[in-house]
Structure 1
Amino acid sequence: MLLVYDGTEEAQAALTRCSELSLALSARVEVVSVVDSVSANAHSAGMLGELAYSRLEELARHTLGTAICKLADNGITAHGHIVFGRTVDAVSRHAASFNSDIVVVGHRTQKGLARWWRERPIHLDLAERLCGSTIITVTLPLA
């Protein structure tokens, strides 16, 4: 089972669901935290410096550690991985290399202009890319 975790409320809800599933299925858990420097660089008009890259990686490591600790508190041994690149690309590569049968991601339904300005939700792209894997999307209510 692969958990995509970035520390958001959506990811925390996904972590809770992942814990429940792991205990019920006796499944091992791999946690992925993505350093998406590609999107961050695009949002900063290509002006992202070395210090910012380091900060992104540091934040991802901290977030990953938090997820591992929360799973351990629930009696689940999990292995963590930092991956780099666009989130959907990095998660797809990782899921394929570890043969993840179940991928758990968090999602918040957007309303208004946010639906048009944001990237496509990750679970839609993962569903197209990960043949043979079950994508579990934990959705939070509208903000």
Structure 2
Amino acid sequence: MLLVYDGTTEAQAALERCTQLSLALSAHVDVVAVVDLATANAKCGGLLSDLAFKGMEEFARRTLDTAVGQLADHGVPAYGFVKFGRPVDVVSGHVTTFGPEIVVIGHRRRKGLSRWWGERPVHLDLAERLRGTTIVTVVASQA
């Protein structure tokens, strides 16, 4: 099983769901934290500094350690990976290399005009690329 984790509320909900699934299926979990440098660089006009890069990598490692630790606290064997690239490319590559049958990913519902602007949700691109892989998309509960 593969969990895509970035520390957001949606990713935390996906972590909870992944924990339940892995316990029910007696499956180990690969946790991937993606550092998307291309998008970050584009958003800052191509001026991403070394300091910003280091900060993004350190944040990814901390959030990854948190997720792996929470899974371990529940008795789930988990392995963490920090990877660099676009999330859809990184996840697709991990699935091709390691062959998990289930990918768990968090999703934030967009409202208003933001539904029409911005990038397409990652889980839709993954569904097209990863035929035969179950993709569990988790939305955080509205409180």
Specify the TM-score bucket, using the shorter chain as the normaliser. Answer: over 0.9
For structure 2, the 5+ residue unaligned runs are none
The answer to whether structure 1 residue 36 and structure 2 residue 44 are counterparts is no
**Structure 1 equivalent of residue 69 of structure 2:** 69
Point out the more displaced range, 112-121 or 102-111.
Answer: 112-121
* Structure 2 CA distance for aligned equivalents of residues 70 and 91 of structure 1: 21
Tell me the distance in 1 between the aligned counterparts of 2:56 and 2:94.
19
Aligned to 2:50: 50
**CA shift at 1:77, angstroms?**
1.4
* Structure 2 residue aligned with 1:103: 103
Question: How many angstroms does 1:132 deviate by?
Answer: 1.4
Hey, what's the Cα distance between the residues in 2 that align with 1:141 and 1:116?
A: 22
CA RMSD in angstroms comes to: 1.2
State percent identity of aligned pairs. 62
Tell me: CA distance 1:75–1:141, structure 2 relative to 1, closer, same or farther (3 Å): closer
Unaligned runs of 5+ in 1: none
Q: Count residues with an aligned counterpart.
A: 143
Distance in 1 between residues matched to 2:117 and 2:56, nearest whole Å: 23
Q: Larger deviation: 76-85 or 108-117?
A: 108-117
Shift of 1:73: 1.2
